Amino acid sequence: MTVTNGGLTSVTVSAVSVTNPEFATPNLTLPLVVPAGQSVDVNISFTPATTGWTGGLIKFSGSGNSTLSVQAGGSGVDSQAVTAAPSSLSFGQVPVGGSASLPLVLKNARNWAVTISAIQPSSPAFSISGATFPLTLSGKQSVALTVNYSPESAGPIGGSLFISGPGESIPLTGAGTTGAAGQLSISPASLNYSSVPVGTTDTLPITVSATGAAVTISSASSSSSQFALTGASFPLTIASGQSMSFGVAFTPQSSGTVSGSLSFSSTASDSQLKESLTGVGTVTPYSVSLSWNQSSGAAGYNVYRSTSSNGSYSKINPALDSNTAYADSSVVSGTTYYYAATSVNSSGMESSLSNPIQVAVP
């Protein structure tokens, strides 16, 4: 939690009392001096002795008869019913009047249904969207949410999201600033991939820079599954004047030109920055050339193909072939084929399949 001195003179916190020993203020050294207009972060720990809900009152006593009472509550459980990814959210610096968003995924860790009756932010500066409550998650099911931070005043803030039902909390931190929002830029402005074989991956580097103020990037999304950002874990904060480098991978799924974009959601003045992406997928053409000995009395031949030595064979020549050779240009890279031929006499009688041959296409 964040304790702020809103007075005109310094306040010295000389004592802390707790009505419930399951709550404590670890690592807090007293006396603690809080200058006028300044804030300090204080950690509150909860060590449940039994399962179920419990509460307590934490009282800070300071100079000039100043006191601050904080209610605390928590639920002891045998195991976590719901897990959160990430386990805590840090929004970094966000201009007052602006907003920042971070993704949050809640997963039912159990094999049976769990109901989340509500999610309650500890401060009106935080809000949540993406689902309607109450919400029941079946075993191992997940729900994707968005947590928003809209600072109402300058300075740091600590808080949490309380998941009512499972009785769990997710820590939240942020800081409101009165300065201008930082700016985010990407170099190069666009990426172009040429002649990348289908099924392989080519990765090109990009550099993301912040100027003017620190920028927190909450997420990145690609408009095409064939492009993906690598080497990044969100949320991340880039200090003013600093840069970070990542890779963008292109894995074409078919031949031809693919266009897309990579979007970054951040606390920058341009909260949705995009990187243009273009790639060309290529397929190496393959052909299998077959030949066989002439059969006496044959008016022509048929060619059959299978992808299994013991599987069913399908005729691949569109019409009876009078030659003793055939080129199959419909093969796919990375596949093994089995070929056999038959002869057909002038009466239309067809022989049985010849002994098959195996051909592996690179």
pTM, to two decimals: 0.51
Taking the C-alpha atoms of residue 37 and residue 4, their distance in angstroms, rounded to an integer, is 7
Note the pLDDT of residue 225: 93
Asked whether residue 147 falls in the same domain as residue 196, the answer is no
Q: Which of 78, 106, 133 is the last residue of a domain?
A: 78
Q: Which of 130, 147, 179 is the last residue of a domain?
A: 179
Are β-strands 168-177 and 89-95 bridged in parallel, bridged antiparallel, or unpaired? parallel
Q: Which of 179, 201, 222 is the last residue of a domain?
A: 179
Asked whether residue 294 falls in the same domain as residue 347, the answer is yes
Asked whether residue 231 falls in the same domain as residue 292, the answer is no
Asked whether residue 187 falls in the same domain as residue 277, the answer is yes
pLDDT tens for the chain, 362 residues: list them. Answer: 888 888 889 999 999 999 999 999 998 999 999 988 888 888 899 999 998 889 999 999 988 788 899 999 888 888 889 999 999 988 877 888 888 888 899 999 999 999 999 999 999 999 999 999 999 999 999 999 999 999 988 888 888 999 998 888 899 988 888 877 789 999 999 999 999 998 899 999 999 999 988 888 888 999 999 999 999 888 788 888 899 999 999 999 999 999 999 999 888 877 788 999 999 999 888 999 999 999 999 999 999 999 998 889 999 999 999 999 999 999 988 899 999 999 999 999 999 999 999 999 98
In the 3-class helix/strand/coil scheme, how is the chain assigned residue by residue?
A: CEEECCCCCCEEEEEEEECCCCEECCCCCCCEEECCCCEEECCCEECCCCCEEEEEEEEEEEHHHCEEEEEEEEEECCCCCEEEECCCEEEEEEECCCCEEEEEEEEECCCCCEEECEEEECCCCEEEECCCCCEEECCCCEEEEEEEECCCCCEEEEEEEEEECCCEEEEEEEEEECCCCCEEEEECCEEEEEEEECCCCEEEEEEEEEECCCEEEEEEEECCCCEEEECCCCCEEECCCCEEEEEEEECCCCCEEEEEEEEEEECCCCCEEEEEEEEEEECCCCCEEEECCCCCCCCEEEEEEECCCCCCCEECCCCCECCCEEEECCCCCCCEEEEEEEEECCCCCECCCCCCEEEECC
Note the pLDDT of residue 347: 93
Task: Tell me if 2 sits within 8 A of 158, measured CB to CB.
Answer: yes
Task: Tell me if 90 sits within 8 A of 159, measured CB to CB.
Answer: no
Q: Residues 6 or more apart from 323 whose CB is under 8 A from it? A: 301
Asked whether residue 73 falls in the same domain as residue 83, the answer is no
Q: Tokens standing for 325? A: 């050779």
Q: Tokens standing for 161? A: 């999201």
Comparing CA positions, the residue from 270, 261, 259 lying closest to residue 210 is: 270
Task: Tell me if 303 sits within 8 A of 316, measured CB to CB.
Answer: yes
Number of domains in the chain: 4
Asked whether residue 188 falls in the same domain as residue 260, the answer is yes
Residue 207 maps to which CATH number?
2.60.40.10
Note the pLDDT of residue 327: 96
Asked whether residue 264 falls in the same domain as residue 342, the answer is no
Asked whether residue 83 falls in the same domain as residue 13, the answer is no
Asked whether residue 124 falls in the same domain as residue 167, the answer is yes
Range of the domain at 146: 79-179
Asked whether residue 188 falls in the same domain as residue 247, the answer is yes
* Strands of the 82-85 sheet, one edge to the other: 82-85, 100-108, 142-149, 126-129
Asked whether residue 196 falls in the same domain as residue 273, the answer is yes
Q: Which residues of 340-349 are buried (b: 16+ CB within 10 A; e: fewer)?
A: bbbbbeeeee
Taking the C-alpha atoms of residue 250 and residue 190, their distance in angstroms, rounded to an integer, is 13
Taking the C-alpha atoms of residue 259 and residue 36, their distance in angstroms, rounded to an integer, is 55
Note the pLDDT of residue 75: 83
Asked whether residue 264 falls in the same domain as residue 355, the answer is no
